[in-house]
Amino acid sequence: MAYSTDRRDLIKKALALAPLYVAPAVLVSNRPVMGQVISNPECAGANCTNFSNCVNDPFCFCFTLADGSGFCGEGVSCGGVDFCDLATPCAAGYVCQVDTCCGADGICVPDTTQCFENRASSPPPAGRSTSSR
């Protein structure tokens, strides 16, 4: 007795089983999605005179964003940054840090400098400073 399965039946069976194979690939992560900035309330109000470390990482510091929220991130060099404020926001993929040591204006910093809990502690990439001076 020969079994015969047509193409349509194979596709139906494959689609019915597909969720079983996709579900294990969905992982829960505490990392923000690319481009998503997570406010850190403990960092609100930080300025050039009182930067402190955050998320138990020696390479991460508290900053204040233009909207007044807190941001935990790696320090960056003041050289070559764009300036910003609420009226002149940063380009997509950047956040506007204010009250830094880079002058009176806010500076645009890549949102990829954001630090978060349980991040593997490692020094910042070459070219990044550990302070905003």
In tens digits, the chain (133 residues) has pLDDT values of 555 566 666 566 655 654 443 333 333 333 444 457 888 899 999 999 998 999 999 999 999 999 999 999 999 999 999 999 999 999 999 999 999 999 889 999 999 999 987 655 444 444 444 444 3
Report yes or no: 37 and 111 within 8 Å, Cβ to Cβ.
yes
Residue 74 structural domain: 41-113
pLDDT value for 116: 83
Residue 25 belongs to some domain of the structure: no
The token duo for 77 is 């060099």
Phi/psi at 27 (5° precision): -115, 145
Residue 126 belongs to some domain of the structure: no
pLDDT value for 14: 56
Residue 57 belongs to some domain of the structure: yes
pLDDT value for 37: 82
pLDDT value for 35: 55
Report yes or no: 45 and 88 within 8 Å, Cβ to Cβ.
no
Q: Is 47 helix (H, G, I), strand (E, B) or coil?
A: coil
pLDDT value for 2: 53
pLDDT value for 38: 84
pLDDT value for 124: 46
Number of domains in the chain: 1
User: Which residues make Cβ contacts (< 8 Å) with residue 34, sequence separation at least 6?
Assistant: 112
Residue 54 belongs to some domain of the structure: yes
Name residue 133's beta-bridge partners.
none
Residue 119 belongs to some domain of the structure: no
Residue 92 belongs to some domain of the structure: yes
